[in-house]
């Protein structure tokens, strides 16, 4: 099993969700996050007071999947989240050791 | 506990002082008291002696004029307009000013700002009726009125208050209420300068002192006079000038409160932010406004309410109210545009905060001028005020290093000074101004640039000096009594939880 964590531009969230649903992903967890990468922050000016904003708002989405789906999931996120401009985000893939569905107590692939 | 006691002591001293003077005053003017003693004027406790005095008084003297008497027309149109105008000024203060300022502070101090505006408004409303109205709007000296109308003594529903037209009056209760809203919003303007760091108790005590010794004398000096009906001949004009407030007598023009309200509050703000010192982290940490949406809502309510403030200051629903109304509309529009262009052509973007700051600067600048200048003069005033205020809030403040948190000095004092001086220029009928009414000839008085500007400058300087001195002394006194600044810990934590025990937002 794999655990995919992707940082994307917030306004791309809907497209990514649709792309993942289309290939049969059963569930996604979404978090609003802030961070920086190669995309620089920006400055804000309030009546002459300048503030540098280093951390930009992003969305982090997390998906737990079977090994077999990994390539399709990564491809779906990559395609749907891309704008071609700096700041599109990253996709991280982890090995997933154990999953338990709390309601039924099922574990492993059954629980995904 | 000691804190509370010292507050009570101070309020008590002020209250008792006023009461004692009222008793003294009453014995001196028993005949006046007789007028109050109508059966329906359920006298408040402190004036209980009045009905007794009335019984003992010999044949009632010539009754005070009442609305509806010959020459004292109180019509329903003017009365209605003044009720609306008073409500509009209340709208400016709460919620307008509260939201405008509230959006500009950090989230952790939102409630402290809302609370300060709301409570100051309420406190001043009470003080105004106890002694404020009397000190501002009764005769006495040219600098400070008397206490003859303390506790609103002698005012009944049929008491007339003069307007700017001969023979036209409005009910005095409404005049009291309308002026009350001015007295209540002015101290609330100051809080923007020391936002995010002053103790709530200290704010209240400071405001009581400042209201008494800076606002009331200024209102008296600029606005107190016997009314147009007292002027019929050149001699009677001299009598009116002798009885009037000092700056009124000098011929200083201030239609709706450039000196009394804006310069007065703006200078107090500057002194307060210097005496209190900078906020912790000022210049190092981000102190960006937490909600420009609420700031825009607040500024818009200010603009709408300002029609009551400016056009209401005409006291009648007539052509001059129309003039003040249109001027308030277009000067504000012009100032919004010019602030935006200053930012846009400079190194920044046209910002929402810039637009609303320009609008407020325009409203401030047109306030003293609105009933005197023509619409084109108003546009010029609006276009010019924003670059000047921008220079102060975006440059001078950082060069000099004072922490006027929400730019009370940069917008209200600077805009007020510019407006007061511009009034003296654009009142000139040759520049499209409406001129100054000459109540002797009942026409428009001849315009004299030097004389008018001398009067305007005298008023500006008086407001600056009076407010600065009173504010400085008041802050020092409050600091000795209860301390003016919150602890470093509460400042970092935010005043909402540490001073008020609540949080503005739960997420």
Distance of CA B11 to the CA centre of its chain: 21
The residue in chain A having the minimum alpha-carbon distance to the alpha carbon of residue B288 is A46
Tell me the pLDDT tens digit for each residue of B410-432: 999 999 999 999 999 999 999 99
Q: Any idea which residue has 């309308």 for tokens?
A: B178
Tell me the pLDDT tens digit for each residue of A6-52: 999 999 999 999 999 999 998 999 999 999 888 777 888 898 888 88
Give the model's pLDDT for residue B63.
72
- Nearest-5° angle of CA B84, CA B88, CA B90? 120
Contact residues, chain A, for B287 at CB < 8 Å: 49
Crossing angle between the packed helical segments B110-127 and B200-210, to the nearest 10 degrees:
30
Give the model's pLDDT for residue A112.
87
Rounded distance, CA A66 to CA A73, Å? 10
Element at A35 (helix H, strand E): strand A29-35
Give the model's pLDDT for residue B61.
52
CB–CB of B351 and A51 under 8 A? no
Residues 6+ apart with CB under 8 A from B49: B23, B26, B33
CA distance, residue A54 to nearest chain B CA (Å): 11
Contact residues, chain A, for B394 at CB < 8 Å: 47-49
CB–CB of B393 and A48 under 8 A? yes
Count of alpha carbons within 13 angstroms of residue B401, beta-carbon side = 2
The count of CB pairs under 8 A between chains A and B is 28
- Residues A103-107, mean pLDDT to the nearest whole number: 95
CA distance, residue A56 to nearest chain B CA (Å): 15
Nearest to B116 by CA among B199, B3, B182: B199
What parts of chain B have a pLDDT lower than 50?
1, 5-60
Rounded distance, CA B120 to CA B124, Å? 6
| Between A53 and B487, the higher pLDDT residue | B487
Tell me the pLDDT tens digit for each residue of B11-34: 444 444 444 444 444 444 433 433
Counting DSSP H helices and E strands in chain B, the numbers are 23, 4
The residue in chain A having the minimum alpha-carbon distance to the alpha carbon of residue B387 is A47
The residue in chain A having the minimum alpha-carbon distance to the alpha carbon of residue B349 is A45
The residue in chain B having the minimum alpha-carbon distance to the alpha carbon of residue A45 is B348
CA distance, residue B410 to nearest chain A CA (Å): 11
Burial class (CB in 10 A: 0-12, 13-18, 19+), B146: middle
Give the model's pLDDT for residue B95.
95
Contact residues, chain A, for B395 at CB < 8 Å: 48
* Residue B409 tokens, joined: 């000095």
B82 and B174 in contact (C-beta within 8 Å)?
A: yes
Residues 6+ apart with CB under 8 A from B409: B193, B266, B267, B269, B270, B273, B392, B402
* Residue B47 tokens, joined: 């004036």
**CB-nearest partner of A47 from B286, B349, B357:** B357
Residues 6+ apart with CB under 8 A from B369: B253, B255, B258, B327, B331, B377, B378, B381, B419, B422, B423, B426, B427
The residue in chain B having the minimum alpha-carbon distance to the alpha carbon of residue A48 is B394
Contact residues, chain B, for A51 at CB < 8 Å: 286, 288
Cα–Cα distance list, A108 to A27, A28, A66 (Å): 15, 17, 9
CB–CB of B348 and A49 under 8 A? no
* Residues 227-286 of chain B whose Cβ lies under 8 A from any Cβ of chain A: 286
CB–CB of B407 and A47 under 8 A? yes
Give the residue from A46, A50, A53 with the most B CB atoms within 10 Å of its CB, the best one to mutate. Answer: A46
């Amino acid at each position: 099993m794999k655990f995919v964590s992707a940082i994307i531009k917030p306004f791309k969230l809907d497209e990514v969700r649709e792309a993942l649903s289309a290939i049969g992903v059963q569930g996604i967890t979404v978090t609003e996050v802030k961070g920086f990468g190669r995309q620089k922050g920006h400055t804000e000016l309030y009546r002459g007071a300048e503030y540098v904003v280093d951390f930009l708002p992003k969305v982090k989405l997390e998906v737990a999947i079977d090994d077999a789906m990994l390539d399709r999931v990564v491809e779906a996120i990559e395609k749907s989240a891309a704008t071609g401009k700096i700041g599109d985000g990253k996709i991280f893939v982890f090995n997933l050791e154990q999953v338990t569905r709390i309601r039924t107590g099922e574990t492993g692939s059954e629980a995904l | 506990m000691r804190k509370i006691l010292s507050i009570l002591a101070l309020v008590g001293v002020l209250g008792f002082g006023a009461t004692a003077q009222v008793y003294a005053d009453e014995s001196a003017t028993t005949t006046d008291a007789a007028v109050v003693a109508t059966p329906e004027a359920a006298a408040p406790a402190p004036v209980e002696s009045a009905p007794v005095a009335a019984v003992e008084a010999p044949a009632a003297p010539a009754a005070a004029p009442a609305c509806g008497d010959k020459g004292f027309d109180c019509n329903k149109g003017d009365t209605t307009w003044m009720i609306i105008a008073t409500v509009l000024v209340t709208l400016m203060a709460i919620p307008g000013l509260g939201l405008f300022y509230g959006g500009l502070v950090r989230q952790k101090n939102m409630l402290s700002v809302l609370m300060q505006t709301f409570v100051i408004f309420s406190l001043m409303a009470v003080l105004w009726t106890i002694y404020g109205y009397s000190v501002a709007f009764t005769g006495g000296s040219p600098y400070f009125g008397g206490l003859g109308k303390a506790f609103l003594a002698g005012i009944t529903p049929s008491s007339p208050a003069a307007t700017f037209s001969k023979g036209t009056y409005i009910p005095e209760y409404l005049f009291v209420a309308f002026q009350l809203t001015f007295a209540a919003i002015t101290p609330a303007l100051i809080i923007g300068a020391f936002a995010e760091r002053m103790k709530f108790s200290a704010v209240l005590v400071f405001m009581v002192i400042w209201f008494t010794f800076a606002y009331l004398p200024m209102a008296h000096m600029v606005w107190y006079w016997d009314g147009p009906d007292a002027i019929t001949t050149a001699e009677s004009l001299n009598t009116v000038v002798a009885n009037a407030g000092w700056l009124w007598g000098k011929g200083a023009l201030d239609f709706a409160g450039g000196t009394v309200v804006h310069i007065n509050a703006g200078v107090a703000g500057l002194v307060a932010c210097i005496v209190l010192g900078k906020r912790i982290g000022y210049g190092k940490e981000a102190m960006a406004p937490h909600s420009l949406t609420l700031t825009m809502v607040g500024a818009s309510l200010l603009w709408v309410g300002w029609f009551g403030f400016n056009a209401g200051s005409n006291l009648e629903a007539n052509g001059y109210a129309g003039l003040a109304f249109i001027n308030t509309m277009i000067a504000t529009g012009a100032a919004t545009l010019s602030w935006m262009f200053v930012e846009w052509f400079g190194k920044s973007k046209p910002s929402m905060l810039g637009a609303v700051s320009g609008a407020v600067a325009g409203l401030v600048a047109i306030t003293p001028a609105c009933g005197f200048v023509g619409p084109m003069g108003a546009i010029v005033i609006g276009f010019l005020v924003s670059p000047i205020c921008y220079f102060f809030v975006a440059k001078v403040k950082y060069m000099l290093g004072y922490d006027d948190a929400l730019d009370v000095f940069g917008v209200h004092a600077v805009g007020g000074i510019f407006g007061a001086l511009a009034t003296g220029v654009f009142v000139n009928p040759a520049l499209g101004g409406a001129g100054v009414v000459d109540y002797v000839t009942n026409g428009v008085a001849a315009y004299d640039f030097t004389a008018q500007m001398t009067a305007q400058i005298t008023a500006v300087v008086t407001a600056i000096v009076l407010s600065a001195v009173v504010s400085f002394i008041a802050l020092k006194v409050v600091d000795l009594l209860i301390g003016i600044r919150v602890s470093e810990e509460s400042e970092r934590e935010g005043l909402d939880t540490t001073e008020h025990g609540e949080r503005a937002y739960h997420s």
